Structure 1
Amino acid sequence: MTDDPRTVPELFLDRVGRTPAAEAFRYPAPDGAWRSLTWADTEARVRAIASGLRALGLEGEQVCAILSQTRIEWILADLGILCAGGATSTIYPSTTAEECAFILSDSGAVVAFAEDAAQVAKLASRRGELPALRHVVTFDGAPSPDGWVIGLEDLEARGRAWDAAHPGAFEETAAAVRPDALATLLYTSGTTGRPKGVELTHSCWVEQSRSVQQSGILDHPDVLQLFWLPLAHSFGKMIGTAQLRIGFPTAVDGRIERLVENLGRIRPTFVCAVPRIFEKVHAKVLTNARAGGPVKAGIFRWAIGVGLDASRLRRAGRPPGPVLAAQLAIADRLVFRKVRDLFGGRLQFFISGSAPLSKQIAELFDAMGVVILEGYGLTESSAATHCNLPRARKIGTVGPALPGVEVRIAEDGEILMRGPWIMRGYHGLPEQTAEALDADGWLHTGDVGFVDAEGFLAITDRKKDLIKTSGGKYIAPAELESRLKAVSQLVSQVLVHGDRRNYVTALVTLDPEALARWAGEHGRAGAPVAELALLPEVRAIVQRDLDRMNAALPRFATVKRFAIVPREFSETEGEVTPSQKLKRKVIERRFAAELDGLYRGELPAA
């Protein structure tokens, strides 16, 4: 044990030494039951994987890639790579064979962990382009006759034999890792262009984990996390190293279709999520309330009004009066408790990151007693630099800076950050590195925002996404997109358009579940989304919601026209990133005809 771990291997082994018998992870077994690993159990498997990689010839700072959905083996492989002195590069499981080949080639990966036969096939199809890739280790797939593909069990068996033949080598290798050595090479999913490899060192993760602990965000009893987000994203890596520092247990299951079931079964105290999840839950809650008939809908509206009043008072530091407190107790019993039960009944808070969260949605959840702590960060900043805290939170902001981070707002509104867990640069891209990191070490985030008098950071938009109409007015599309999704139960996704145009327009997609329920209530049960999207009645609903949103906007920012896209924007079609950010340029090119059609017979300039 050490009082001041300097690297991820030291952080991990320090945790093992402090609490060897404590629960580290839970994970679903093939039979559907949940299994548990103590920190000592975890160390044994990590030791086997690290030693197996040494047996395969892995050397210091050589890159190993992981191509898999979130699962316990992902975490064990990552820790094994780092304890063997290597560096981890991550690949989203939805990545195409061509994109996989680019990342593996660009990173110089010598070993790749691949989840199953389908992922192995992607790599095998490009094997001739990857001379540096010596082995593929598969979690569930089959070994290859030539030994290029080996199973994880085989790797661990080799590792145990290697460890027995080289006593002390595991500890020596872990201790030899330098704080400034490459730990993680994360390729930005990118809303435009080729992904860039972000180089993050061991000290990045260690310093950030210390800051998370100092922030006190997880200072509540019996901490238990349910983790399902992609571990290929920096958000997941960040919370993983915080776990090593603090020592709380984590239940791991990346199957999003099991999320609701797992919430009820695991009963976590906190969960990390992205705004898309809250948007879908929000839409489902509203749809269910309206589907229960006018009486149930009326009770729901009354309860939300009471909850919002109480929430505003709480956030202003004032307790509700006796009448409001009594009303809140009734609203909680009739409505809010049922919503909280969906999340297991023990949830202290969600942590939201990766994309902006609608203020209206955050307020509605808060009214129901479901706390969402919105945070902020970039891959280039090892994920989190800011986060609202249970004791210091402000809806509509991403919170104060974590201890150790400096923040400055440039003259044009761009957010600049400096601190010990900012990236060391983009892999093999010195010019792009110089553009992002200035001579004084400030990271130019590309986000626009401001810091209020109490030190809370608010993000208004991406600098490159700001729309400037032909009338010279600047508009933040993300804000309008969040507003429309918050007021509409039918709208699923929104892309606001209008750069150098005479007025603002939008492409919208519809929520299949909400639309199916509407169809069932209007004699069209079973009709496909593409057919329902063409109905005048559906368009009228979206127009009504749009009018509600526009009523609160200055005229130049209102959305004048819209088109309904008959399917949701998807990662499969290359229209959203794995973290569900819209790829604006891709969508605008793909739906150029629809967008151009919204400007035929131009309206007067706004």
Structure 2
Amino acid sequence: MDATDRRLRAVSAHLQPQATAARRTSDSLAPNPTAGEYAHVLGYSAVLPEKLQTGKWNVYRSAHSPITLIDRFSDYPDIGTLHDNFVNAVETFRDCRYLGTRVHSDGTIGDYKWMTYGEAGTSRAAIGSGLICHGIPKGARVGLYFINRPEWTIVDNACSAYSYVSVPLYDTLGPDAVQFIVNHASVEAIFCVPETLRTLLSFITQMPCVRLIVVVGGVDENMPSSPAAAGMEIITYSMLHRQGHMSPQPFRPPKPEDVATICYTSGTTGTPKGAVLSHANFIANVAGQDLGVKFYPSDVYISYLPLAHIYERTNQIWLVHRGAAVGFYQGDNLKLMDDLNTLKPTVFASVPRLYNKIYAAITNAVKESGGLKERLFHAAYNAKRQAIINEVKLVDVPEMNYTSEDQPYPRGEICARGPIIFQGYYKDEVQTREVIDEDSWLHTGDIGLWLPGGRLKIIDRKKNIFKLAQGEYIAPEKIENVYAKCKFIAQCFVYGDSFNSCLVAVVAVEPEVLKSWAALEGIQYEDLRQLCSDPRARAAVLADMDSIGKEAQLRGFEFVKAVTLVAEPFTLENGLLTPTFKVKRPQAKAYFAKEITTMYAQLLDAESARPKL
């Protein structure tokens, strides 16, 4: 199919009238007639036996494709890599808007300026060619150490075109984590901005693998001299672009099974782990999602979720396939509403905390201006509401009282298998085997239950790590160990979840310390319980916890924002401790459910009482 045919096909698809909601629902739930004897189609999902000899029907697949797992686009089966996907987009949508920014070259903020798919294609070839000119070999790891902006996406596309492996680095990572990741992945080239360049230069001699640093937004004459280390060079992005443009190199297309990226965790519970994802992983993921939601060249997406996270990157790959435009925020979350008002996106992916904040504004915009239309894509929830694109099963977790026999709904740890599952942790077979078993099931650590119709609902975490509403991961035991240094605290239970943006804590107090403090403050009380209920006592404990947290350099979202003091210690007898004296988190959550609800309600009331800007 030539480019003309592709463009006609894209236009035709865009002009087709959209089905009504009722029709879309009935179509999406229609069973596959060929699957009848192999699967029970429940609506959203189809259920199959994992092993025929057991007779246990416990594996769920999408009702769209219960027999064969999706690994390619049904309308473009030849697209097997990210390079294929972008080439198709450039050929089909060459003159359409692709990457937009309102941050101008002089740093001022204005209207969005756009780069077309064709222009971005030219730039990605120049950047890839420039890397070759500097001797960066095929298969080398390339780091991206800056926030979302058009150059991030261009570099990532260049990596795909020339068979480099991208290694995203969160701009908020500390020096130790950056140094570990760069050395662990043997990163040879790093793209950064002037701000992150300063961080890199502070320990550049500790990263001997780095041969080239490219500064996005840097000025040629302001570049620092290269370190004395042999082969190390620092240049600007614009210089690399010019060099590559003057010396174009042919593409080095990857194969579907080749590694596309290594995404490292932020190291919340230890050293960062690098999740290895192939080109085939990405294409399978996006192709599966494309079954349920369609985008068009007229769609506009706002990019502000970190591209270092796989969720945002997958969204953009999906949008590229359909020729949509991607407008980047100006880099400040506090000014996101201004960016939204200027860009007027039709596609918006977010996290629960921000949805809660701007829900009213979005609905008003839909009603009044039509800027965010009814096709507003609540992607953070959509990912869980769409039909399953892997195959999924639940595994019993008896220590948490979750089993497949639970009534009214089966519960257990969510395990997934299929072409989108990552290849494993880079250079870490031990941790890979901990999460991917011998039958290729990924044990996610999430606890889920099956609702009627084959819908999967996430209800808990198996591991002692969770995500807050804004997407930040929390390791509560690490935080509890910090707060254990607080003089008032005998025991501490830190709690948070994906519906709230901050942490709260239940503290079993050191009785004598709290009583001594009360005596110095002249506070009268009848017993320890009454003292624990005194707001002045809570404020004093929270202030001391804040001081300890600052000394330990906790990050902002790791600080507890509300505390409940209890006189009764956590014990084996009341079911709050394990035999090794660790807090039983699920039991503590249930035991203190009322206190947790009260703390979050009080925080919400306090937030509502603040004057609006």
State the TM-score, normalizing by the size of structure 1.
0.63
Q: Tell me whether 1:236 sits opposite 2:312 in the alignment.
A: yes
Which of 224, 236, 244 in structure 2 is aligned with 1:144?
224
What code does the residue aligned with 1:144 have? P
Q: Which residue of 2 aligns with 1:181?
A: 258
SS of match in other structure, 1:349: coil
SS of match in other structure, 2:457: strand
Q: Based on CA coordinates, which of the two structures has the bigger radius of gyration?
A: 2
What code does the residue aligned with 1:26 have? G
Unmatched tracts of structure 2, length 5 or more = 3-75, 227-231, 398-411, 466-475, 478-492, 510-532, 575-590, 592-613
Q: Which residue of 2 aligns with 1:407?
A: 392
Q: Which residue of 1 aligns with 2:325?
A: 249
Matches within 5 A, 1:124-143: 124-141=201-218, 142-143=222-223
SS of match in other structure, 1:132: coil
Q: Report the Cα distance in structure 2 between the residues aligned to 1:38 and 1:496, rounded to whole angstroms.
A: 50
What code does the residue aligned with 1:464 have? K
SS of match in other structure, 1:273: coil
Matches within 5 A, 1:156-235: 156-163=241-248, 166=249, 169-170=250-251, 173-174=252-253, 177-215=254-292, 217-219=293-295, 222-235=298-311
Deviations 1:427-471 (A, max 9, x none): 010010011111111100011111212122111111123999xxx
Q: Report the Cα distance in structure 2 between the residues aligned to 1:573 and 1:201, rounded to whole angstroms.
A: 36
What code does the residue aligned with 1:208 have? N
Q: Tell me whether 1:450 sits opposite 2:530 in the alignment.
A: no
Deviation at 1:78, TM superposition (A): 1.1
1:337–1:434 distance in 2 versus 1, CA, 3 Å: same
- Could you tell me whether the CA contact under 8 Å between 1:204 and 1:422 is conserved in 2? yes
- Could you tell me whether the CA contact under 8 Å between 1:263 and 1:342 is conserved in 2? no
Q: Which residue of 2 aligns with 1:106?
A: 184
Q: Which residue of 1 aligns with 2:78?
A: 4
Deviations 1:542-587 (A, max 9, x none): xxxxxxxxxxxxxxxxxxx9999769x99x94446xxx7x5xxxx6
- Could you tell me whether the CA contact under 8 Å between 1:27 and 1:252 is conserved in 2? yes
Deviation at 1:94, TM superposition (A): 1.2
Task: Tell me the C-alpha RMSD between the 2 structures.
Answer: 3.8
Q: Report the Cα distance in structure 1 between the residues aligned to 2:277 and 2:438, rounded to whole angstroms.
A: 18
- Could you tell me whether the CA contact under 8 Å between 1:260 and 1:343 is conserved in 2? no
- Could you tell me whether the CA contact under 8 Å between 1:415 and 1:447 is conserved in 2? yes
1:599–1:92 distance in 2 versus 1, CA, 3 Å: farther
Deviation at 1:495, TM superposition (A): 3.1
Which of 97, 101, 110 in structure 2 is aligned with 1:23?
97
1:265–1:4 distance in 2 versus 1, CA, 3 Å: same
SS of match in other structure, 2:378: strand
Deviation at 1:239, TM superposition (A): 0.6
1:565–1:35 distance in 2 versus 1, CA, 3 Å: farther
Matches within 5 A, 1:291-330: none
Q: Tell me whether 1:425 sits opposite 2:456 in the alignment.
A: no
Q: Report the Cα distance in structure 1 between the residues aligned to 2:162 and 2:365, rounded to whole angstroms.
A: 48
Deviation at 1:228, TM superposition (A): 0.8
Q: Which residue of 2 aligns with 1:390?
A: none
1:348–1:538 distance in 2 versus 1, CA, 3 Å: farther
Q: Report the Cα distance in structure 1 between the residues aligned to 2:363 and 2:201, rounded to whole angstroms.
A: 51
1:218–1:536 distance in 2 versus 1, CA, 3 Å: farther
Regions of 4+ moved over 6 Å: 537-540, 561-567, 601-604
Q: Which residue of 2 aligns with 1:494?
A: 503
Deviation at 1:90, TM superposition (A): 0.7
- Could you tell me whether the CA contact under 8 Å between 1:61 and 1:183 is conserved in 2? no
Deviation at 1:77, TM superposition (A): 1.2
Q: Report the Cα distance in structure 2 between the residues aligned to 1:347 and 1:93, rounded to whole angstroms.
A: 34
Deviates more, 1:203-212 or 1:140-149: 140-149
Percent identity between matched residues is 23
- Could you tell me whether the CA contact under 8 Å between 1:209 and 1:241 is conserved in 2? yes
1:416–1:269 distance in 2 versus 1, CA, 3 Å: same
Matches within 5 A, 1:520-559: none
- Could you tell me whether the CA contact under 8 Å between 1:263 and 1:344 is conserved in 2? no
Matches within 5 A, 1:301-380: 337=364, 344-346=371-373, 348-353=375-380, 374-375=381-382
Deviation at 1:535, TM superposition (A): 11
Q: Report the Cα distance in structure 1 between the residues aligned to 2:214 and 2:326, rounded to whole angstroms.
A: 24
Q: Tell me whether 1:97 sits opposite 2:172 in the alignment.
A: no
What code does the residue aligned with 2:337 have? V
**Larger % of helix: which?**
1
- Could you tell me whether the CA contact under 8 Å between 1:183 and 1:201 is conserved in 2? yes
Which of 129, 150, 162 in structure 2 is aligned with 1:84?
162
What code does the residue aligned with 1:247 have? G
Q: Report the Cα distance in structure 2 between the residues aligned to 1:448 and 1:230, rounded to whole angstroms.
A: 26
Q: Report the Cα distance in structure 2 between the residues aligned to 1:463 and 1:204, rounded to whole angstroms.
A: 25
Q: Report the Cα distance in structure 1 between the residues aligned to 2:535 and 2:322, rounded to whole angstroms.
A: 55
Q: Which residue of 2 aligns with 1:378?
A: none
What code does the residue aligned with 1:151 have? T
What code does the residue aligned with 2:242 have? A
Q: Tell me whether 1:54 sits opposite 2:120 in the alignment.
A: no
Q: Which residue of 1 aligns with 2:463?
A: 464
1:461–1:601 distance in 2 versus 1, CA, 3 Å: closer
- Could you tell me whether the CA contact under 8 Å between 1:465 and 1:476 is conserved in 2? no
Q: Report the Cα distance in structure 2 between the residues aligned to 1:409 and 1:61, rounded to whole angstroms.
A: 37
Q: Report the Cα distance in structure 1 between the residues aligned to 2:363 and 2:86, rounded to whole angstroms.
A: 40
Q: Tell me whether 1:13 sits opposite 2:12 in the alignment.
A: no
Q: Report the Cα distance in structure 1 between the residues aligned to 2:421 and 2:130, rounded to whole angstroms.
A: 32
- Could you tell me whether the CA contact under 8 Å between 1:105 and 1:130 is conserved in 2? yes
Q: Which residue of 2 aligns with 1:550?
A: none
What code does the residue aligned with 2:134 have? L
- Could you tell me whether the CA contact under 8 Å between 2:80 and 2:283 is conserved in 1? yes
Unmatched tracts of structure 1, length 5 or more = 286-331, 354-373, 376-386, 388-397, 469-474, 486-491, 503-533, 541-560
- Could you tell me whether the CA contact under 8 Å between 1:414 and 1:445 is conserved in 2? yes
Q: Which residue of 2 aligns with 1:271?
A: 348
- Could you tell me whether the CA contact under 8 Å between 1:63 and 1:111 is conserved in 2? yes
Q: Tell me whether 1:438 sits opposite 2:437 in the alignment.
A: yes
Q: Report the Cα distance in structure 2 between the residues aligned to 1:48 and 1:496, rounded to whole angstroms.
A: 52
Q: Report the Cα distance in structure 2 between the residues aligned to 1:445 and 1:476, rounded to whole angstroms.
A: 22
Deviations 1:340-366 (A, max 9, x none): 66994436334353xxxxxxxxxxxxx
Deviation at 1:128, TM superposition (A): 1.3
Q: Report the Cα distance in structure 1 between the residues aligned to 2:555 and 2:237, rounded to whole angstroms.
A: 34
- Could you tell me whether the CA contact under 8 Å between 1:59 and 1:85 is conserved in 2? no
Which of 44, 53, 67 in structure 1 is aligned with 2:122?
44
SS of match in other structure, 1:110: strand
- Could you tell me whether the CA contact under 8 Å between 2:348 and 2:378 is conserved in 1? yes
What code does the residue aligned with 2:173 have? T
Deviation at 1:37, TM superposition (A): 1.1
1:36–1:336 distance in 2 versus 1, CA, 3 Å: closer
SS of match in other structure, 2:308: coil
1:337–1:130 distance in 2 versus 1, CA, 3 Å: closer
What code does the residue aligned with 1:255 have? D
SS of match in other structure, 1:444: strand
